[in-house]
Amino acid sequence: MSPRFPASAGRFPRTRMRRNRRAEWSRRLAAENRLDASDLIWPVFVVEGGDTRQPVPSMPGVDRLSIDLLVDAVGEAAGLGIPAVAVFPYVAPELKTPDGREAVNPDNLICRAVRAVKAAHPGVGVICDVALDPFNSDGHDGLVRDGRVLNDETLEVLCRQAVVQAGAGCDVIAPSDMMDGRVGAIRDALDAAGFADTQIMSYAAKYASAFYGPFRDAVGSSGALKGDKKTYQMDPANADEALREAALDIDEGADMVMVKPGLPYLDIVRAVKEAFGMPTFAFNVSGEYAMLRAAADHGWLDYDRALIETLLSFKRAGADGVLTYAALDAARLLEAG
């Protein structure tokens, strides 16, 4: 028995664990973790056009939205108490180039979307991904030369990307590329450009996972991807390495850290939170969302109950918040009680 719970803690029949479970009010009093809309970050996809809504087939219930509809959707999220959104662009194929130059265009789709959202909803936090995969014709997070993803050369582009996003009004820069040294380089670039207050949420432990497929469909990078991302994203077999990655990012100036994917890596969420005591987030990624929706759509799971149970698991593991495509669904359920 664990030293935290010695045998003297109580024995049946004097101790009956079910007493505290007997009534709903008692279960609420004894709950160790709580889920609230303020724990949620809503990832959203933006596309060119007006009054445009494009369903993502591999993510039932998720749409790419034109900027006008995105602004309305963010307003709905804010009304439900969701504090922040993470905006990802669907870049037109003709704008994808080997150097990912559209990523540093201050008038690109993501920057225009950020400006519109912040103008309409200044109190909502906006998080922007920093990586080249939506803009790169190779589908990789960094620059590619002779089949090799370049680290140091990519950092220069990522810094420029971060600065144009901050200039558009992005509150939180979230580098997901997993290039070595990118957090420190981006911090220096933001500070030099006058954005010392712009936060960095690093994808500190981002694994080379099979659970990203629907996301790549949503941003249009799946067809472009050549090879895999195992030379820069983490090996799913490794846990200690995640702590080293988090430690490096924190030392380089990260304000918050993230573990991605979520459900298969709850042990990493717990380890990172316990090791560093930093604001720690988990990304309930597209494949996890798609599995839950597919099972529910087939009648194999109760979607509402399974969703709340899933999100509670992140809180129980130590996450301060969760990025989830089901944020609106969860917030409505929480509001309804």
Distance (Å, whole) CA 108 – CA 292 = 33
- Give the tokens for residue 232: 């820069």
96 is catalytic: no
- DSSP H or E run through 188: helix 182-192
- b/e map of 312-324 (b: 16 or more CB within 10 Å)? bbbbebbbbbbbb
Looking up tokens 């420029």, which residue turns up?
A: 160
Cis peptide before 13 (omega within 30 of 0): yes
- Give the tokens for residue 101: 């130059």
Distance (Å, whole) CA 48 – CA 244 = 39
Distance (Å, whole) CA 89 – CA 65 = 10
Q: Which of 206, 229, 273, 315 is catalytic?
A: 206
Task: Name the pairing type of β-strands 199-206 and 63-65.
Answer: unpaired
260 is catalytic: yes
Give one word for 97, left, alpha or beta, with left for phi > 0 and alpha for psi -120 to 50.
beta
Those residues whose C-beta lies under 8 Å from the C-beta of residue 231, and which sit 6 or more positions away, are: 148, 149
Q: Which amino acid is located at 193 in the chain?
A: A
> Contact 313/263 with Cβ under 8 angstroms?
yes
> Contact 306/330 with Cβ under 8 angstroms?
no
* Inter-CA distances, 258 with 63, 89, 187, 263, Å: 24, 20, 17, 13
Catalytic residue positions? 206, 260
